A and B are shown apart, each in its own frame.
Chain A
């Protein structure tokens, strides 16, 4: 029975992944796939913020790097030998820039999607953490780094098509158009599998001693250092892992939305990522994915109906989640939030005095036997 209960969510998930493509129209399925892929970057943010206490406002860098890697590969993939991607003609570039060359290889691109962001994150993180820069300073520096990458990608037309970004939906993988419905369905399944893999990875990381070290860094870093650990190594490693996850997420998002552009590195988008985690519940892995999907669905619904109200709602969400729901929806649920509400409206649930004892069936039975043995009034 217990085994069944642990497997049930997975079975439901697989069933949903198989059924949803049949019942959702392609547009909605594509949206869901995109939002699920954003769940991966949210998981990474949860690792570094929810568990390690470092608020990065620059995850967009790694997200976009992953997106650009796959975007460049897809640009090259559908070309005849000797041909250049179309946009190069606009800027008078005759020869493929050297750093584009390796992206012709699928294996290299597949590695690049997550290794490159992890490397960038690792180097950036090491330079910052080595000097014990943390807290708000770290957040600001990541944001500035984001702006720098944004400016760089935005300004380099001759290298990566600047503001316009790279289109991916007209390319072909295995002879199938990336933008086609069948391909998008396969990508949806790939996304579901990768979200699960990312979730398992995060769970594995946070369950063991490594996870304990992360939480120790969040709660009291000097004490961990005095105990003989080196927080810099842990922080750099976890930041690199989060960067790799952001890269994978960006690649999946790119192929499903059909374009990668410097807008993925815009400052507001990276802060939005943080709010997904905050609303879902930081420090809870499932909360990060839920938050990403829920908020983005809400955003697309509200933006379809009343576009000008979305910023009000989003701003209000930031305020609400920080002041009233610091642990997010999942944290609220786990800490008995619904029972608080129930108590407020007048039907307080019966609270056990000693939960460990009162809810234990063995102890219950013993008490039953005991109370029937001894009549009220006590022993003679």
Chain B
């Protein structure tokens, strides 16, 4: 019996990371019909934020507060990832409205850039980047106003950005000669985040051994869920978001600022990815490829859970998490030792993490044959877009 609880608890812990990671994705997808391939990289930004915060608290004046650094990291990670998401929305996704497949490709491009960014970011790199962006933004204001509507104005804009990019690259490689500035901040290797002591122990709960880190993740997920639920159901902006999710053009007609709603939703969704990033640091090390490990699972949660209901996301994520863990760890064998030989062999065949994914995916495709719109489809007549 203990074993059963143990299995369920571990499955639940894995599932709740998935809930946290997929929550933001599902909200954004429900609202804008956009799949954000860079969602995993926004998680990664959250994880790196945690790493930086941890380093700040390790030494120096804040050393005494080390046990609670993670509580500081959570809002900071929300902010960092959220702002990165907001920037992404304002610069790229807004231009591609109504072209979901193109958005998918564009966000994939962003994810590649972010991955390489954390690998090669150094002080020199940042100086070059800031100078290039500042130059590109400021230069057009220095042109005479009569240049604004010439035939060649688009070319001028392109040339300006190319030129400022070149200046930035030259500056970065020049400064790269200085040893201190050339040092990469994170580099490509995986970094370990040390959890505070109280998250490294475990609680004995009726004979079941529960690591506190996993309990913390479950609690964090629960809090995030309640917060998102309250935000969507009770706050004014939550009502607006739900209205736009249900019918964009009607909401627009009724005076809801849909663009602001989009931006806000993207900020919240990306921020949640950041919070998920904090949770992930408790489970393993932090690396540039962190996002890729979670992203496809998150997509499956969105597909399985259906759009527009938080409950769908939660049930789908927990279902996938528990099922993958139960199959992958082979604990069915331990629970039921006197299994027939054929079934036994089958279960052993799938009892690795990667083979469990194979089976879970097959089950999902099978499920979609009966419920193509997921667990909790939106009610009402569907308009085929």
Contacts and interface: CB of A to CB of B under 8 A. Distances in A.
Interface stretch (B102-110, B189-197, B265-273, B338-346): B102-110
A14 B347 CA distance: 55
A343 interface: yes
A308 B384 contact: no
A148 B362 contact: yes
Interface stretch (B13-21, B138-146, B220-228, B364-372): B364-372
Classify the secondary structure of A's interface with B: helix
A137 interface: yes
Nearest to A140: B299
A308 B35 CA distance: 27
Contacts of B385: 135
A315 B372 contact: no
Contacts of B102: 322, 326
Contacts of B154: 344
Contact of B155 (A319, A322, A345): A345
A318 interface: yes
A167 B152 CA distance: 55
Interface stretch (A98-106, A150-158, A283-291): A150-158
A133 B361 CA distance: 16
Contacts of B292: 267
**Most central of A130, A141, A152 by chain B CB within 10 Å:** A141
B96 to A, nearest CB: 7
Interface string B84-115: 00000000100110001111111011111101
Interface string A152-166: 101100000000000
Contacts of B368: 131, 133, 141
Interface in A49-63: 49, 53, 55
Contacts of A293: none
Contacts of A194: none
B79 to A, nearest CB: 24
B352 A136 contact: no
B151 A346 contact: yes
Contact of B105 (A130, A316, A322, A343): A322
B369 A315 contact: no
Interface string A264-281: 000110010011001000
Interface residues of A, number: 51
Given A136-B33, A144-B296, A144-B361, A275 B354 contact: no
Interface in A123-141: 127-128, 130-133, 135-137, 139-141
Contacts of A278: 105
B300 interface: yes
B348 interface: no
B106 A318 contact: yes
Contacts of A268: 112
Given A139-B35, A315-B116, A274 B357 contact: no
A314 B112 contact: yes
A145 interface: yes
Contact of A148 (B111, B152, B299, B361): B361
Contacts of B10: none
Contacts of A127: 365, 369
B30 to A, nearest CB: 12
A148 B357 contact: yes
A316 B154 CA distance: 19
Among B92, B102, B120, chain A packs the most CB atoms within 10 A around the CB of: B102
Given A267-B296, A275-B105, A315-B116, A136 B35 contact: yes
B137 interface: no
A353 B103 CA distance: 37
Contacts of B100: 135-136
B358 interface: yes
A341 to B, nearest CB: 8
A271 B108 contact: yes
A322 B303 contact: no
Contacts of A128: 365
Nearest to B302: A140
A267 B40 CA distance: 14
Interface in B149-186: 151-152, 154-155
Nearest to B384: A222
A154 B33 CA distance: 33
A144 B368 CA distance: 14
A315 B112 contact: yes
A227 interface: no
Contacts of A312: 112-113, 116
B355 interface: yes
Contact of B104 (A139, A155, A316): A139
A259 interface: no
A275 B103 CA distance: 13
Interface in A305-356: 308, 311-312, 314-319, 321-323, 326, 341, 343-346, 348
Contact of A140 (B35, B92, B355, B372): B35
A344 B152 contact: yes
A221 B109 contact: no
Contacts of A343: 151
13 contacts: A135-B385, A136-B33, A139-B35, A148-B362, A155-B352, A155-B355, A267-B296, A312-B116, A316-B109, A322-B96, A326-B102, A344-B155, A345-B155
Given A143-B296, A312-B116, A345-B155, 6 more contacts: A127-B365, A278-B105, A308-B119, A318-B112, A322-B102, A322-B105
The 10 closest A-B pairs by CB, nearest first: A318-B109, A151-B354, A315-B113, A315-B112, A311-B116, A131-B372, A315-B109, A140-B299, A322-B106, A55-B101
